[in-house]
Structure 1
Amino acid sequence: MAKMIFLSLPVSDLARSTAFYQAIGAEKNAQFSDDTASCMVLSDTIHVMLMTHDKYRQFTSKKIADAKNTSQVLICISADSRDAVDETIAKAQAAGGAPDPSPVDEYDFMYGRSFEDPDGHLWGVNWMDFAAATAAQSSTAGA
């Protein structure tokens, strides 16, 4: 069985954040959602739990960081093509996210951009040609 990842993100406006993630292609799993949390399915193996601050506080006594002013984690997801990277960023921007808060990664074997969700959480979206990346790594290893 493939490993799954479940990210929990504190959000200031659950309805706004749910709509944002739906706009970039996530599906809301109603079975694990209520008025305090939305389970957003990005893929069969990636789920994002958007939680109100009160709900998030049930899992930690630590102070909730303001992701617009501090950074604790950078989240990166893969895309099937360079065009898919650009499409995701365009969807994020149209839904109220900030495009490209980080520098664009552009190499022969990899292309990546980023967006910031309405709460300031940073997401990278990357496409990689693994065969070309392996070839590039092999050619530099023997140098």
Structure 2
Amino acid sequence: MIFVNLPRRDAAKSDAFYQGLGFEKNELFSNEVATSWKLSEQISVMALNEEFFNGFLVNGDNASFGEGTKQMLNAISAESEAEVDEFVANATANGGSVYRPAKSDAPGMYSAAVADPDGHVWEIVYMDMSAWAEGNVSS
């Protein structure tokens, strides 16, 4: 299993964002300092209050909220270009913002990226695998 642990400043805003994306809340791993959001059977997002998140860090490290340098882009796949557009619409309607507008990155590939209320970036990507299998995509 993979748990993507992200710090949050405002639990209500964070929870509204992930619920608005259609992620399923996992009550088993949710409490007053953390909310677990299920993306699939094997992948969950853990939105953790800043102080709780910092409790897992060592060497004087502190939570980062997406300002300036990016250390990671969380990417998930979509089944269609329409699903990419719907994801962006849901994200912006629920407290997120467009980080990178939707575009065709290569033949058979369409993606966009949004930021959650705390600045963590989520990329949503549709890939027409037949274009890749046929060799129509250059690297």
- CA contact 2:7–2:65 (8 Å) conserved in 1: no
Which sections of structure 1, spanning at least 5 residues, go unmatched?
A: none
In the comparison of the two structures, how many residue pairs are matched? 136
Q: Normalised by the size of structure 1, how large is the TM-score?
A: 0.87
- Give the 3 Å change call, closer, same or farther, for CA 118–135 of structure 1 in structure 2: same
- The Cα RMSD (Å) is 1.8
Take 1:7 and 1:69, find their aligned partners in 2: how far apart are those partners?
Answer: 20
Distance 1:32-1:131 versus aligned 2 partners, 3 A rule: same
Cα-to-partner distance string for 1:78-104 (whole Å, 9 max, x where unaligned): 0111100100000001112112x2254
Query: Which of 95, 100, 103 is equivalent to 1:102?
Result: 100
More strand by share: 2
When the two structures are superposed, what TM-score results if normalisation uses the length of structure 2?
0.89
Q: Which residue of 1 aligns with 2:21?
A: 24
Query: Could you say which structure has the larger radius of gyration?
Result: 1
Counterpart AA for 1:79: A
> Per the alignment, in what secondary structure is the counterpart of residue 111 of structure 1?
strand
Give the percent of matched residue pairs that are identical in Structure 1 and Structure 2: 38
Is the 8 Å Cα contact of residues 68 and 121 (structure 1) preserved in structure 2? no
SS in 1 for 2:122: strand
Change in 2 beyond 3 A, CA 1:136/1:51 = same
Is the Cα contact below 8 Å between 1:9 and 1:50 reproduced in 2?
yes
Distance 1:108 1:57 in 2: 42
